[in-house]
Structure 1
């Protein structure tokens, strides 16, 4: 006799195959999820109450309704599946935990790489500087469940006052400034610095992008690695960095050279850069800001415009705050007790954020608005309200199953 959660319809499908979660299912359609599961080898060879596709959607729903219990999230996922005679049985917390472990992190990472890309089109307001798509890189830390496994793998911040209350994971992201769409991410322990993690993201860069970065990122080797992607760079450097004037330019900027550590004293193997220096006169701040860029021609990008453009770097700070404060919730910790689960949960948060931002971009484009004019918090509430109403929208497969259900 078939288990309740696996009862099939007359079309030969499981009820769980019909699970959908509105906006998230539009962003990550079942056919694509099935393809990713097959590619990562996470498909099932036997019938389960929680097949891999459902677990992917469960992780996304868990990250959309952060703070809700496992069984409550599962109830929201399955709402609307029944037809009065049968229903999808809500799995237990233990069963969901085992299913998450079977799934692992790889399908979420591959899904992120496949779907999460810059959103702006030429008509998108506020996403471009002249011919460049403006993007930024930055990092943050996320509080984790206080377990021995998480502490051993990720570590804790230590200071003169002792260790932090929770272990923390480091996340470095690459985001499109105009839409707040995160399209690159690297996760690691606290011992992995932002510079080393950011190097993993440069394969996501391409010609026609202008990458902004704060002074904590600059280093000759990292600069060269980012430059090799074909993207242009506009990074802040420390005020005491040695940047000799090679040639002064008419817009007030100047050409200079940077060197690898071993060549710095001899000034061998120079790499030409352009330097923009400015102060924030209106604020009374007398600090000198120094930017270096790969755009050497001031006619292509005047110094005054680059100085004003650099403020766009704060957009990635806002992006990270949307994920940590509004989507996750202030002062909440990730629930996963093991490192594999932490990484799975982080990628779930990033995927949900991208889906919400994609919806916001579509709405802004339709109205001819800058996406910054729309409220992320309000949009997130709308998406959350839609889930019970839109659960189980689709009753069709978008492609043949990798492992047919034997019934």
Structure 2
């Protein structure tokens, strides 16, 4: 009797090596996956029922069909395989769990770094402010499996009734506002703040970008760290922030200064910022919004345009909602019982989201429409329907480098 996963095709290759999952293998080609596996030292020293490449695609499929059991995900991957006389025998849950542990986090993390970049081109509608690529930073939390390992590492939120029902991982991401493409992510325990995690993300910033951030992110040191990347900044600050008027500008904005904490009282070592204050009169909201920016010239970026542009920051909240509510599913809990698995699973979610958003961007360009007019939920359903029907021969080892999203 053949062992699980070892059914042979007439050509002699194992059917587990023929898994190709349509959209995801186009976004993350087998050649690239093999390179990442070799780079991270996760290649097999002996033949296994579940080779590392197949496990990478399994993790991606697990994050595409979130909420389905291990064996059901494996069955979906195996549909259509075979020569009409044989079928791929589904590995057991225990075998898949061991294979995930062997794979670890690094291949998914490196794959994310290799593929997940901003998508917008000059023709992409809604992605630019004048010549600047508009991006945003924000954070969220995800509920985790209620295990001792997850609880000890990630912690639980406090509630009015005591401790939360589930441990949670904190995730902070950088996303391109016009395409919702997440191109930087950091995660950690709840004890690590969004500001701390975001600082690690700023290596992804550079000249030609304009970073939007909510008031919870502002701090002098973090501002300076982001500013040093060469990106321009447009951040909301709390209404209690001390921003003295140095010079009023023709558009109604004004120049002010911010200081490090030790220099705040003496006003030494000032850093000049431009302040834009406004209310949302059309909605009847009397809240005064205060933005600070590194763009000091009002002709380069008029105050009214910056006030309108700041609304684009909501695009990253929509992006996180796509991942949490639609892709993962409302009120569902990540399945991984150990911290290494949580990190692997989060990277899987981000990779799948980026693949779907890449397809949506390509479709928008083809039809010359704003990508915001396309439905993420509908696109997700289309991708899910394609997977079982798109199994195809995919050699176990390939030679070419096939990065589909070069920088």
TM bin, normalised by shorter chain, reads over 0.9
- TM-score, with length taken from structure 2: 0.96
**Match of 1:325?**
325
Matching residue of 2:399: 399
Aligned to 1:258: 258
CA contact under 8 A between 2:19 and 2:393: conserved in structure 1? yes
1:272 is the counterpart of 2:272: yes
Q: Shift of residue 77 of structure 1? A: 1.0
State the shift of 1:83 in Å.
Answer: 1.1
The match for 2:334 is 334
Contact map agreement 2:194 2:217 (CA 8 A) in 1? yes
Instruction: Kindly indicate whether the alpha-carbon contact (under 8 Å) linking 1:22 and 1:393 is maintained by their aligned counterparts in 2.
Output: no
Cα pair 1:180 1:315 within 8 Å, conserved: yes
Q: CA deviation at 1:14?
A: 3.0
- 1:229 paired residue number: 229
What value does the CA root-mean-square deviation take over the aligned residues?
1.6
Within 1, Cα distance between the matches of 2:395 and 2:370?
36
Query: Secondary structure of the residue that 2:81 maps to in structure 1?
Result: coil
| Cα contact 1:173–1:184 (8 A) shared by 2 | yes
Residue equivalent to 2:361: 361
For 1:313, the equivalent position in structure 2 comes to 313
- C-alpha displacement of 1:396: 7.5
Using the TM superposition, give the Cα deviation of residue 145 of structure 1 relative to its aligned residue in structure 2, in angstroms. 0.7
User: Are the equivalent residues in 1 in contact too, given 2:30–2:53 (CA < 8 A)?
Assistant: yes
Distance in 2 (alpha carbons) for counterparts of 1:360 and 1:373: 10
1:379 aligns with 2:379: yes
Q: Which residue of 1 aligns with 2:242?
A: 242
Q: Structure 2 CA distance, aligned partners of 1:233 and 1:331? A: 34
Counterpart-to-counterpart distance in 1, 2:353 and 2:386: 16
The separation in 2 between residues aligned to 1:206 and 1:40, in whole angstroms, is 27
Matched positions, count: 401
Instruction: Report deviation, 1:240.
Output: 1.2
More divergent stretch after superposition (189-198 vs 156-165) = 156-165
Equivalence for 1:138: 138
For residue 388 of structure 1, what is the aligned residue in structure 2? 388
Q: Deviations over 1:320-347 (max 9, x none)?
A: 0000000000011101111111111111
Q: Quick check: 1:296 aligned with 2:307?
A: no
Provide the rounded CA distance (Å) in 2 between the counterparts of 1:46 and 1:357: 37
Moved more, 12-21 or 140-149: 12-21
**Structure 1, unpaired ranges of 5+:** 402-407
What CA distance in whole angstroms lies between the structure 1 residues aligned with 2:260 and 2:385? 54
Partner of 2:18: 18
2:30 maps to: 30
Structure 2 stretches of 5 or more lacking a match? Answer: 402-407
